[in-house]
Amino acid sequence: MKTKKGFMLRKVADKNVVVPIGQASVDFNGIINLNDTGAFLWSILSKGCTYDELVSSVLSEYDVNEDIAKHDIDVFLKTARDADVIED
């Protein structure tokens, strides 16, 4: 999995936002607001990773059990897929 080309994570006034750049700004209207966990997931996805690597990274970074981590990752990935900003 990887974030699609043309979307960048930025910190704006203490907020994490994903903004489209280049051609993506023509095709995608708006910005995506992320909490700190969402920004963490985005930064890993921007480098490319497997689902298992994403889970492992969350478990290493946060004090959370695996079931909760997977549920939260699944919700994040569904939202990102629905917005068409990641590719599998």
Residue ranges covered by each domain of the chain: 2-87
Crossing angle of helices 51-61 and 66-82, rounded to 10°: 130
Q: pLDDT (tens digit, 9 = 90+) per residue, 36-81? A: 999 999 999 999 999 999 999 999 999 999 999 999 999 999 999 9
Give the architecture (CATH level 2) of 2-87: Orthogonal Bundle (1.10)
What predicted TM-score, i.e. pTM, was given to this entire model? Answer: 0.91
More confident residue, 72 or 23: 72
List of E strands, the chain: 2-3, 7-12, 15-20, 32-34, 86-87
Residue showing tokens 């985005």: 42
